[in-house]
Amino acid sequence: MKTINAKVLTFKYWLAKKLSKSLENDKNAIKNGAKITFNDYCKIQIVECTKTSFDKDKIEMLAKRCKIDISSLKSTTNYLRIDIDNIPTEVDDKVNQVLDTIEDENDRVITKAASSVARR
């Protein structure tokens, strides 16, 4: 059975939360026309997407009246998605090294940082 260190888990959880927020902020900035440096490092593109779903109000009317054209039940939403492709393998290697360091319970610096996070 695997053993999980609560201090390290807390540190990873906090780090993931901060990284997710930072990533969303960067994506929103890109959608709003931010300048991207190192363009040749990876492929970052804005993809226009369309999502079609059923309109809840019309479904309720259908349940009440049962005389609504089914094609009028769907609503369409347009949104932008950021895709990042062609990421160099060196990035994957660096991320794996960072995770290995974080998960190494013998590393005093990480343990100290995780303890500090756990106390907050």
List, for residues 19-65, the tens digit of each pLDDT value.
Answer: 999 999 999 999 999 999 998 899 999 999 998 877 777 777 777 77
- pLDDT, one tens digit per residue, over 78-99 is 999 998 888 888 888 888 888 8
Domain that holds residue 17: 1-38+108-120
Residue 15 and residue 3 share a domain:
yes
44: which strand partners?
84
DSSP state of 55: -
Domain for residue 95, yes or no? no
Q: In this structure, is residue 100 part of a structural domain?
A: no
pTM: 0.61
Distance, CA of 20 to CA of 42 (rounded, Å):
19
Q: Could you give the number of structural domains in the chain?
A: 2
Indicate whether 2 and 33 sit together in one domain: yes
d(CA 101, CA 88): 21
